[in-house]
Amino acid sequence: MRLSAAEIAALAEARDGAPHDRLGLHPAGEGCVVRALLRDASACAAVDRATGAVHPMARVHPCGLFEAALPAAAPFAHRLRVTDGSGKVSEVEDPYRFLPTLGDQDLHFLAQGDDHRIHEKLGGNVRVVDGVRGVAFAVWAPHARRVSVVGDLNGWDGRYHPMRLLGASGIWELFVPGLGPGARYKYEIVGPASPTPFLKTDPCAVAFEPSPHHAAIVADLGAHRWEDAGWMDARARRDPLRAPMSVYEVHLGSWRRVPEEGDRPLTYRELGPALADHCRAHGFTHVELLPPAEHPFDGSWGYQVTGYYAPTRRFGEAADFMAMVDTLHQAGVGVIVDLVPAHFPKDAFALARFDGTALYEHADPRQGEHPDWGTLVFNFGRHEVRNFLVGAALSWLDRFHVDGFRVDAVASMLYLDYSRKDGEWVPNPAGGRENLDAIAFLRQLNALVHHVAPGAVTIAEESTAFPGVTRPVAEGGLGFDLKWNMGWMHDWLAYFRQDPIHRRWHHDKLTFGMLYQWSERFVQALSHDEVVHGKGSLLGKMAGADLAAKSANLRCLLALQWAWPGKKTLFMGCEFGQPAEWSHERSLDWHLLAVPEHAGLLRLVGDLNRLMTGHPELAAADFDPAAFAWVQPDDAEQGVLAFRRRAGIAHWLVVANLTPVARAYRLGVPEAGRWEEVLNTDAAAYAGAGQGNLGGVATHAVPAHGQAQSLDLHLPGLSVLILRPSA
């Protein structure tokens, strides 16, 4: 079987989309033919791996195409004995002698968007094939005319390792023997419209080199040996909706730095023990990481992702990220990561126009570009795109043992007209504004996360009244476990900004949220979004002329956040009232813990967390309206708010006085006897004035608020009290 001049020219000019059909060993008549393309070789021979027989090959084209016709009737496993220009002889495996590393079933499920382990199929994965260790490369580029692996293995020359297209799947594949962890690579692609090749980094790589090169790096994820089996087994049996959940939201690069070493951020291996100690000391049950996936621009905080399968190398390698998660798990702290499936950046080295066409994004800018963020919107109508994103989530669960996801910008995904004017968006087939493809994707994501990782949690950042965000998929909902309560956050921050003298006119902001509290399963979140972009810090939002007043108001807000039904999220620095707006470029101001007001806030948060975890019955009833009752919802004139939480043996009376005037106040309670004051935000331990009820108060047979018994309480100014019946 001789090659035609056109076939040889296609190989020589790196235009051949099926190089395995011509290179390697193939039957030819009664024998076989072996070919190799070795541009820098002066001589080449095929060596039978079984017998050691050597078959010299002739150079048949100046480009380095060698060929030999052999009498053997059946192809055999061979190596190439190569002589370079200096006369040095070496033996290498021929990458074009191996069968595809993906089978028909793999290709079927990948095309259908239903492959649950895409991270083991696409990307650059270390494998042993036919007894030979190497790296299996596979990438989806259906409109490309040629794809080559380029990197350290071939001097970044796309003529050396062209890949084969696997049928109609759009997936290009090549097994490169002898390659291993640490190898840098990209894909050189020739698109459908131009002969000029361009470089793309691997969408499914697990590691990347830093800017400005962004090459993918082959990684060996077997370097870490997990020791969190106890945590993982317990998680699979735990219902996160019925467990206490206090989430500490963290930006890894600015949580804590090392000023003695050029103000560098902590590494993953340093962050693990430090975060574990902080969470254990102050009672947080989970950390939530701003997107830890690879991203090129620090100022995006991780929300413009280019490596959806890879922990960023800013703080170490993938094995180091594993070690951080392992350390947190062994300390009893869960790890939730932010997932960003709504959009991706236009960086030329990444997903944008990946194969020369609008592949991951819509071609129509009315659907494919986000007007606010200057990014591209995923085309959720493509099976392969949905599979890519779902596969990324499943890979973080499988490879990195994370405990769930906070899905960013869900509202922008749900509506086709999100932040768009008339004429700037395309209605769905029914003429509506809902993005039906994105809705299908979110349902698929949630269903699969809960299927493959029982006990893992999914949380939606969703700011609209879209129905059924936390309703199960089987009941027509989106299937999230939890949803950030954006309305609660806006209303309560608006209230606490008000000078207490004006709060009587804004009292409804405290109570309005209870009208929709039970429509979804909510997280009360005070997140990073509230302390950036000129919004100031959480402490800075509080009314008050000095630190004492501001910290008293913040203590009230935090105590009410924890006492309110639902799960909790608090951004780093807010737990001690950092006065400066958060910056991703510097550490939190930990030195402020020498100031009593800041130390008192941190102590309060720890006590609130311990109070919450000490009453798991209330956490189990976070989404049960029968476990909540107003006692005094409408005393706007005096700024007093009171409610009860009750489930099982747990019973709290929560009373807030949100003016600086101390008050004697009577509240009805359903149980006679002594009520213990278990938390008082005005306590001296929190840098308050130390006023209160001397640890508790007994009931009187004086009717109030529909109850036969009542408590005569002293309410310090700007305080929240939590009381419970004495045992």
What tokens appear for 521 in the block? 């399963």
Give the integer Cα–Cα distance in Å for 637 and 657. Answer: 11
Q: Which residues form the catalytic set?
A: 408, 461
Integer-rounded Cα radius of gyration of the chain: 31
Give the integer Cα–Cα distance in Å for 586 and 122. Answer: 37
Give the integer Cα–Cα distance in Å for 440 and 443. Answer: 5
Give the integer Cα–Cα distance in Å for 604 and 589. Answer: 18
| Cα 707–Cα 711–Cα 712 angle in degrees, nearest 5 | 130
Q: Across 156-292, where does the E strand assignment appear?
A: 164-165, 171-177, 184-190, 198-200, 216-217, 246-250, 257-258, 264-265, 286-289
Q: Buried b vs exposed e over 515-540: b needs ≥16 C-beta within 10 Å?
A: eebeebbbbbbbbbebbbeeebbbbb
Q: Judge contact between 531 and 541, C-beta under 8 A.
A: no
- Among 395, 473, 403, 405, residue whose Cα is nearest residue 441: 473
The answer to whether the Cα torsion of 585, 587, 591, 596 is positive or negative is positive
The secondary structure of 683-727, three-state, reads CHHHCCCCCCCCCEEEEECCCECCECEEEEEEECCCEEEEEEECC
Q: Judge contact between 589 and 573, C-beta under 8 A.
A: yes
The answer to whether the Cα torsion of 86, 91, 95, 96 is positive or negative is positive
- Among 643, 650, 577, residue whose Cα is nearest residue 613: 650
| Cα 3–Cα 8–Cα 12 angle in degrees, nearest 5 | 155
Which residues, in sequence order, are CB contacts of 614 under 8 Å at separation 6+?
none
Q: Judge contact between 289 and 248, C-beta under 8 A.
A: no
The answer to whether the Cα torsion of 27, 29, 31, 36 is positive or negative is negative
Number of H helices, E strands in the chain: 15, 38
Give the integer Cα–Cα distance in Å for 394 and 400. Answer: 10
Both ends of the chain: CA-CA distance in Å?
Answer: 92
Give the integer Cα–Cα distance in Å for 627 and 303. Answer: 37
Q: Judge contact between 483 and 521, C-beta under 8 A.
A: yes
Q: What share of the chain is helix, strand, coil (3-state, %, to 5)?
A: 30, 30, 40
Q: Buried b vs exposed e over 567-605: b needs ≥16 C-beta within 10 Å?
A: bbbbbbbbbbbbbeebebeebbbeebeebbbbbbbbbbb
Q: Judge contact between 395 and 389, C-beta under 8 A.
A: no
| Cα 17–Cα 19–Cα 24 angle in degrees, nearest 5 | 170
- Return the biggest CA–CA distance within the chain: 108
